[in-house]
Amino acid sequence: MEIKIEKAEKTIKAVLNGNIDSSNDKELSKALMDIRKLESFEHVSFDMTNVNTITSSGIGRLLNFFKFLDTTDRTMEIRGISNLLYQQFTEIHLERIFPIIKDK
């Protein structure tokens, strides 16, 4: 899995490429910690166009990151999610916590 982080003014875009499973969710954890260290941002957008699967551990990491953002009055969203992941995320009602936007 590869993660590319771009910062433009007050928005951070994190592009996730590859599946998030138990063998590489530590990469996701490191990227989220790197984002936490950045200053002067208000919103994080995760582009998951190239992610087909995510384990519960990966979902947990995203939820933990959301909790951090929420305590600092920041927001996040997920964009470009596949139909399969969208179904998985809505079954556990993640869309009630943060926006999940299907770009396709």
pLDDT digits (tens, 9 = 90+) for 49-58: 999 999 999 9
| pLDDT (tens digit per residue) in 41-87 | 999 999 999 999 999 999 999 999 999 999 999 999 999 999 999 99
Contacts of 30 (CB under 8 A, 6+ apart): none
pLDDT surpassing 60 at residue 104? no
25-37 vs 56-71: helix crossing angle, rounded to 10: 10
Per-residue model confidence (pLDDT) at position 22: 86
Percent of the residues in the chain that have a pLDDT greater than 70, as a whole number: 99
